[in-house]
Chains A and B, each alone.
Chain A
Amino acid sequence: MSRRRLWPITIALGVVRCAGPFPQSTLAPRSDFGWAIDHLFTDIFWWAAGVFLVVEALLVVALIRFRHRAGKPAPKPTHGHTVMEIAWTLAPAVILVFVAVPTVRTIFTTSGEAPADALKVDVIGHQWWWEFRYPELGLVTANELHIPLGRAAQLSITSADVIHAFWAPPLGGKRDGIPGRVNRIAFRADSVGDYSGQCAEFCGASHANMRLRVVVDSDSGFGRWATVQLAGPATPAPGTLAERGKAIFARSACLGCHTIQGVSPGVIGPNLTHVGGRTTLAAGLFPNDSAHLASWIADAPSLKPGSLMTRMKPPLTDPDIAALVAYLQSLK
């Protein structure tokens, strides 16, 4: 009746575990939080695989052994067997104890409590981008979360509009960002890297386009990054295209939604003070290059359906867009 699937699963799990090309795999953890979940899942998986094998084997044996054959006498009309009923009630119950105990233990070890020296970051979900605030450092960034390798991180997750869920699978499980509530996760990354993730709770038209990156820096790398972020925005040299871009930015609708420190006060969209230093655009959708940036400025809703950054009226001219691109890219 049913194909034996256990070995393909094991092999597939093995391949998936060691292979690199799955940037959002939950099976290649890179933090203590991720590992705790992975160990628990592996335990439960083997229990489940064992039960699967036994029960499906019983089913297949019954089907083959007791199939209809000509001349077979009528089966004995058995109605039940009390001892067997008790046995197969208790057996799963006992197995579930072996699942439940490590589960409860892991619930408490992964409840979001962090050591006192943990780096605290406020994560705020927006339709459809992420805002990251570092209260101790006094800096604000978007869509790319940087954390140092040597310190635990504690994320306090909430939302500015509808429910979102912060999920960077290699670093651990997801937590919902719920308006009016704060949820915490804590983890200590175990290797430097650039990890991808995305919103996991359906949050409207562009839910699929609400991606994120978590960059785990070396401690010195994180220090350098923070220093850059804390500095004011770059000032374009006089006479350059970037300077014209800054002027256009300052007199268009851009400033209503975006902050560039000392230039514009908007808080509806992502903070752009150091947007040129980010690796991706539009919440992890595109590489941060001039072509993508230009088409994003020209018509964001066609790239991210429902985006609040509508086309400007009257539309920006191509030279204006080129100038804006030059300016934004200069904001390293």
Chain B
Amino acid sequence: MTSWITTTDHKRIGLLYFWTAFGFFLIGGLEALLIRLQLAQPNGHLVGAETYNQLFTMHGTTMVFLALMPLSASFFNYIVPLQIGARDVAFPRLNAFSYWVFLLGGLLLNASWLAGPLFHASQLNVAPDGGWFGYANLTERQFSPGPNIDFWLLGLQILGISSLAAGFNFIVTILNMRAPGMKMMRVPTFTWMTLVTQFLVITAFPVITVALAFLLFDRFFGTHFYVTQAGATPLLWQHLFWLFGHPEVYILILPAMGIVSEVLPTFARKPLFGYTVVVFSGVLIGFMGWGVWSHHMFSVGLGPIADSVFAGTTMLIAVPTGVKIFNWIATLWGGDIRGTTALHFAVGFIAMFIIGGLSGVTHASPPADLQQTDTYYVVAHIHYVLFGGTVLGLFAGMYYWWPKMTGRLLSEPLGKWHFWLTFVGMNVAFFPMHFIGLLGMPRRIYTYAPELGVARLNLVSTLGAILIGVAVLVFLWNVWRTRTHGRPAPNDPWGGATLEWSIPSPPPVYNFSVIPTVANRLPRWKTEHHEPMRDPPAVPPATIHVPGGSWWPLVAALGLPVLALAPLTHTLWLAFLGVAILLLGIYRWAFEPFEA
């Protein structure tokens, strides 16, 4: 137990990320089910307006910041060092700090469900209720007087620290800790996409940090960054939020694209088609993701010139995305395709992401978007991208790397059930939303009139959501069963080309007994010019240095939620206490004796 709390081993931190994020994924899913049950019929009465607004706010916030990003992070942690032939990340204790900050930030956000009595609120729950996008000036104290928005902005600030720390850590790791011979153009695609994602994290998160700091000042110190009566424009928030928010979309999707780029070649028994093009289109998407933010704001009235420019940049970003899809299909073409569960999910990613991408093109066109934005049509779109894309991609990664991470193979028959239930469920849940939106139902409404004519479609969508819930239960059952009944995994159950398959499953604490020397991009495969590499010997030489455990990352992380409690509860001494804990943690961390 203690060894898990003080761990600095990237593999253990990866597993901690995984289970924490999956727990939040279940909470976010439960919130989604409540939303769907409320909307299953017109004039629904399951929850009231306030609770509903909290549910969709927390569903979005949870899925983006507490489930999908950290699930990707669990693979960054576990897999990236293995793929580049390293013994750990560059800053193992900073890595532990990132995890603890993420956990505490997530707990703080969700504590709002039960914190009502602390604030003399009439309800138990004072969860955030301003939407995951938290548009000013609705989030100002004047219109949202309770602690709800405070929980949201303080929670997000804390989570941002976690993401930034991890971002720097992985950039340094990937750039500096590659095995000898692993030039940048020999780096596995998943690690490449991780690198692009981390650059997006360290550049995009400061933007929302600033936006949230303005909001914090407005709410606690009476500044006027978003106060319209004082001459401010609430559009400042929208520009800042989406300047962060659009790169954030790529932060969510690029890791899944990286996973798919690993899974397809392995099971098609063929190298990734156009590796260089796939990598550079990923980089290009990362750059172009910065120039499209105002397509979230076409109804704001930015004027025809701005609308035209952002429509153009948004359509352009479809080009590198399309290139990736064509390269994936070309990877499958001519292959010897093994229909594993991981491959099912990876192909499901492609099939569904195409739909999300194409509906995206329809609202890249500002006039068309004026009928679509803020309706269920866009809800359909984002779920085809983030569920059909990111979630299916992450599940592909789970089936693919589960044996490496746990030493046992998930059941393939249960996996197929999981896949087909998910695939059918998501299409039943999200496809009707296109029509619901085109028929005029806005999003973020807790009730709708029967006259709208969308009751039946909503009911179908709810049934699909329940099917997705069943699919997740099948997955959990599979995981539970695999603990005891799963087939033990050899080093390489799939015949993979990359370094993580050259070592035992799960790997020993030092990963590689001998750091491999990499001669080409697919070191474990025989190609025209290369014989496969020899896997490192199972018996390690006597002296391998691995970093020891440390309490101080956890102590430092604990300072942050204490600090956040100060404004939440209007208690000044808590701020000093929080800063003291943070400084103590950092000080002791910095001077911790260097021991093996």
Contact = CB atoms under 8 A, between A and B. Distances in A.
**Same assembly:** yes
Contacts of A45: 362
Interface string B416-449: 0000000000010001000100111111111111
A132 interface: no
A201 B53 CA distance: 13
Contact of A37 (B301, B308, B367): B367
Given A41-B371, A96-B315, A26 B438 contact: yes
A80 B50 contact: no
Contacts of A77: 270-271, 525, 527-528
Contacts of A211: 449
B53 A205 contact: yes
A123 to B, nearest CB: 13
Interface in B94-121: none
Given A1-B348, A23-B453, A44-B361, A66 B333 contact: yes
A214 B400 CA distance: 55
Contacts of A197: 440
Nearest to A208: B445
Interface string B167-182: 0000000000000000
Contacts of B427: 3
Contacts of A207: 53, 444-445
A165 B327 CA distance: 41
Contact of B137 (A52, A92, A162, A208): A162
B269 interface: yes
A200 B300 contact: no
A7 interface: no
Interface stretch (A55-63, A238-246, A265-273): A55-63
A25 B375 CA distance: 11
A202 B431 CA distance: 23
Nearest to A173: B370
Given A5-B431, A59-B350, A85-B323, A66 B371 contact: no
A3 B426 CA distance: 13
Contacts of A5: 431
B135 A202 contact: yes
Contacts of A89: 319, 322-323
Given A16-B439, A26-B438, A78-B334, A183 B301 contact: yes
Interface in A77-99: 77-81, 84-85, 88-89, 92-93, 96, 99
Among A74, A85, A89, chain B packs the most CB atoms within 10 A around the CB of A85
Contacts of A110: 367, 370
B368 A44 contact: yes
Interface stretch (A174-182, A251-259, A317-325): A174-182
Interface string B310-352: 0110011011001101110110111111110000000110111
9 A-B pairs closest in CB distance: A173-B370, A24-B440, A208-B445, A183-B301, A305-B49, A179-B228, A80-B274, A48-B358, A88-B326
Given A76-B334, A179-B234, A96 B318 contact: yes
A67 interface: yes
Nearest to B333: A62
Contacts of A111: 303-304
Contacts of A103: 308, 311, 364-368
Given A51-B358, A204-B143, A84 B330 contact: yes
B300 A176 contact: yes
A21 B319 contact: no
A69 to B, nearest CB: 8
A305 B337 CA distance: 56
Contacts of B371: 26, 37, 41, 169, 172-174
Interface in A176-216: 176, 178-181, 183-184, 196-209, 211
Interface in A1-57: 1-3, 5, 12, 16, 21-27, 36-37, 40-41, 44-45, 47-48, 51-52, 55-56
B354 interface: yes
A59 B355 CA distance: 13
B138 A68 contact: no
A44 B444 CA distance: 26
Given A103-B368, A209-B49, 8 more contacts: A45-B362, A66-B268, A78-B273, A80-B274, A96-B319, A96-B361, A103-B366, A196-B451
Contacts of B88: none
Contact of B367 (A48, A84, A173, A204): A173
Among A16, A24, A161, A169, chain B packs the most CB atoms within 10 A around the CB of A24
Interface of B: 48-50, 53, 129-131, 135, 137-138, 143-144, 228, 231-235, 268-271, 273-277, 299-301, 303-304, 307-308, 311-312, 315-316, 318-319, 322-323, 325-327, 329-330, 332-339, 347-348, 350-352, 354-355, 358-359, 361-362, 364-375, 427, 431, 435, 438-449, 451-454, 525, 527-528
B299 A165 contact: yes
B370 A208 contact: no
Interface of A: 1-3, 5, 12, 16, 21-27, 36-37, 40-41, 44-45, 47-48, 51-52, 55-56, 58-59, 62-63, 66-68, 72, 74-81, 84-85, 88-89, 92-93, 96, 99-100, 103-104, 106-108, 110-112, 127, 161-163, 165, 167, 169, 172-176, 178-181, 183-184, 196-209, 211, 305-306
A184 B304 CA distance: 12
Given A88-B323, A104-B308, A175-B301, A305 B48 contact: yes
A80 B301 contact: no
B359 to A, nearest CB: 7
Given A22-B439, A62-B332, A89-B319, A99 B361 contact: yes
B143 A55 contact: no
Contact of B271 (A72, A78, A162): A78
Contacts of B359: 48
Contact of A163 (B49, B234, B319, B435): B234
B277 A85 contact: yes
8 contacts: A37-B367, A85-B323, A89-B319, A99-B315, A165-B374, A181-B235, A199-B442, A208-B446
Contacts of A305: 48-50
A209 B43 CA distance: 11
A156 B332 CA distance: 54
Contacts of A127: 143
A259 B485 CA distance: 74
B318 A92 contact: yes
